[in-house]
Amino acid sequence: MVVVVEEGLNPTEKRGAYSLALLFALRMAGLFMLMPVLVIYGQQLNGFSPLWVGFAIGAYGLTQAMFQIPMGWLSDRVGRKPVIFLGLAIFALGSVVAALADSIYGVALGRALQGMGAIASTVMALAADLSRETQRAKVMAFIGVSIGLSFAGSLVLGPVLSALLGLSGLFWLIAALAIVAMLVVHFIVPNAEVKAPRGEVNANSEQMLKLLKHPQLVRLDWGVFTLHLVLTGLFVIMPLRLLDAGLAAEQHWQVYLPAVLVSFVLMVPLLIIAAKRNQQRGYFIFAISLLLLANVLLLVEHGSIWLLGIILTLFFVGFNYLEASLPALISNLAPPGNKGAALGVFSTSQFLGAFVGGSSAGALYMAGGMVAVCWFTISLLLIWILVSLGMRAQSGIKSYSLAISSADKPASLLAKLQVLPGVVEAVMIASDHTVYLKVKTKEFELARALDLVRAA
């Protein structure tokens, strides 16, 4: 069996891309809508304190980090869709628990339950199952765009809907969105007949430990940890700053919406220019510097809504650029056959960052106010810039996974593939009947590799 290269998405891949993007958008909206409002409306709950509201904001990140890999492992045993249904049901249950809570402790418990419905790794695995390797990046891009749009829309809808429904009503709405997502899975998402190779989607502890020693990947793992720590930290203090500036909670969308829209307009050219000039590291550090500048300006801001809008715009330009760049860099740098493990470490780092950001920002706000939170995030961003100076991003690199039948001499086939022009690295996983190739796109000819596989 050999990979057949076709241009464009086939009908199954299109349906899978659109439906999984919708699924992700519904799921992430349930998390993002809470970020700009929880610190405001949480003040009405028994036991409110900045420490506990910070924990409630970040609690889902802790349980997400704990359950991503186990849920992905379970999906290999019982199937992708049953695990996605289970995860959405747990997420809905957590939303109901939070909706019924009259204390910040109950809301924190509900948020932790929401995180236990950790389906991101399983949805990504299903996306890989539903797509050919040559088209997989396009499917993943659809999902990435849906997350970005969900984030932008949620920042606007969260304050508006909270004013209409209250915090409890918002949690009930989120539970309803989880049920809608379950209907999408049942009626719209295609069933996968073939699974992608395990190295493309799976992570195991042995591989993860090995990847933790990879200097380039560790830089990116630290980066996504810091990025989501700073994001959750921002939403512990920014809603309060907008209130202090005289903007009512239901009007916060008037600042969030322009900031997000302008940030997307500015971020896209940065991505294009960085790719064309092959200066990804420089623009990457520039984006981190925008986050740093936003936090420094928060230290000197004195109640101006316009300045808060500028701060948010700078922050979201940097955040959106980095959020789009990091997964691509991970896929680019991951050793052949270990992409799943690399993304597993990456996702765990991301959700841990969300948890540490929320909980530490709450504790620091109680101890030293907004200034303490800002200096904490500024320190971490400076460390990230120093860490990123050692980045060695590879440009013009692409990965292929070629399905093979049982070759008589697998070592001989691997040796022939390794010496093809443009091949950077080749790995054969006999149990998967798969050869992974990392290649230089300008030098590599896929047809020659396919001829060798056919001959074997």
Is 116:193 a contact under the CB 8 Å cutoff? Answer: no
At which of 199, 224, 251 does a domain end?
199
Please indicate, yes or no, whether residues 332 and 434 belong to a single structural domain of this protein: no
Please indicate, yes or no, whether residues 255 and 402 belong to a single structural domain of this protein: no
Please indicate, yes or no, whether residues 337 and 357 belong to a single structural domain of this protein: yes
Distance (Å, whole) CA 318 – CA 322 = 6
193 Cβ neighbours under 8 A, 6+ residues apart = none
Q: Is position 1 within any domain? A: no
Please indicate, yes or no, whether residues 371 and 337 belong to a single structural domain of this protein: yes
Q: pLDDT tens for residues 387-441?
A: 999 887 666 667 777 777 655 566 777 777 777 887 777 766 665 677 777 777 7
Q: Is position 103 within any domain? A: yes
Please indicate, yes or no, whether residues 292 and 192 belong to a single structural domain of this protein: no
Checking 105-109 for CB contacts under 8 A at 24+ apart, the result is 105/47, 105/52, 106/45, 107/38, 107/42, 107/45, 107/56, 107/167, 108/52, 108/55, 108/56, 108/59
**Rounded to two decimals, what is the model's pTM?**
0.83
Distance (Å, whole) CA 25 – CA 363 = 31
Classify 160 as helix, strand or coil: helix
Please indicate, yes or no, whether residues 338 and 422 belong to a single structural domain of this protein: no
At which of 345, 371, 395 does a domain end?
395
Give the containing element (helix H, strand E) for 438: strand 434-440
**Selection from 190, 181, 188 nearest residue 119 by Cα:** 181
Which CATH number is 50's domain given? 1.20.1250.20
- Beta-strand relationship, 423-429 and 397-403: unpaired
Residue 178: which domain range? 7-199
Please indicate, yes or no, whether residues 388 and 417 belong to a single structural domain of this protein: no
Please indicate, yes or no, whether residues 40 and 151 belong to a single structural domain of this protein: yes
Checking 1-5 for CB contacts under 8 A at 24+ apart, the result is 1/403, 1/404, 1/405, 1/433, 2/402, 2/403, 2/404, 2/450, 2/453, 2/454, 3/132, 3/133, 3/134, 3/400, 3/401, 3/402, 3/403, 3/450, 4/132, 5/134, 5/446, 5/450
270 Cβ neighbours under 8 A, 6+ residues apart = 283, 286, 287, 317, 321
At which of 199, 217, 245 does a domain end?
199
Q: Is position 337 within any domain? A: yes
Please indicate, yes or no, whether residues 345 and 381 belong to a single structural domain of this protein: yes
Please indicate, yes or no, whether residues 351 and 446 belong to a single structural domain of this protein: no
pLDDT in tens, the chain (456 residues): 344 444 577 788 889 889 998 998 888 888 889 989 999 998 999 999 989 999 999 899 999 989 988 888 888 888 889 999 999 999 999 999 999 999 999 999 999 999 999 888 888 888 888 877 667 767 877 887 788 788 888 888 999 999 899 999 999 999 999 999 999 999 999 887 666 666 666 666 666 777 778 888 889 999 999 999 999 999 999 999 999 999 988 899 899 999 988 998 898 888 888 877 777 788 899 999 999 999 999 988 777 899 999 999 999 999 988 988 887 787 777 776 677 777 778 888 989 999 999 999 999 999 998 999 999 999 999 999 999 998 876 666 677 777 776 555 667 777 777 778 877 777 666 656 777 777 777 778 788 888 777 776
Q: HSE on the CB side for 260, CA within 13 Å?
A: 16
Q: Is position 82 within any domain? A: yes
Please indicate, yes or no, whether residues 210 and 237 belong to a single structural domain of this protein: yes
Please indicate, yes or no, whether residues 275 and 328 belong to a single structural domain of this protein: yes
Q: pLDDT tens for residues 186-244?
A: 999 988 766 666 666 666 666 677 777 888 888 999 999 999 999 999 999 999 999 99
Domains in the chain: how many in total?
Answer: 3
Angle at 195 between CA 190 and CA 196, to 5 degrees: 110
Alpha-carbon distance values, 59 to 40, 86, 221, 362, 382 (Å):
17, 20, 20, 12, 26
3-state secondary structure 43-68: HHCECCCHHHHHHHHHHHHHHHHHHH
Q: Is position 2 within any domain? A: no
DSSP character at residue 92: H
Distance (Å, whole) CA 76 – CA 452 = 31
Alpha-carbon distance values, 372 to 129, 138, 377, 379, 383 (Å):
46, 42, 9, 11, 17
Q: Is position 222 within any domain? A: yes
Distance (Å, whole) CA 62 – CA 79 = 25
Residue 46, φ and ψ in degrees, nearest 5: -65, 140
Q: Is position 172 within any domain? A: yes
Which CATH number is 432's domain given? 3.30.70.100
Q: How is residue 300 written in tokens?
A: 């000197």
Q: Is position 149 within any domain? A: yes
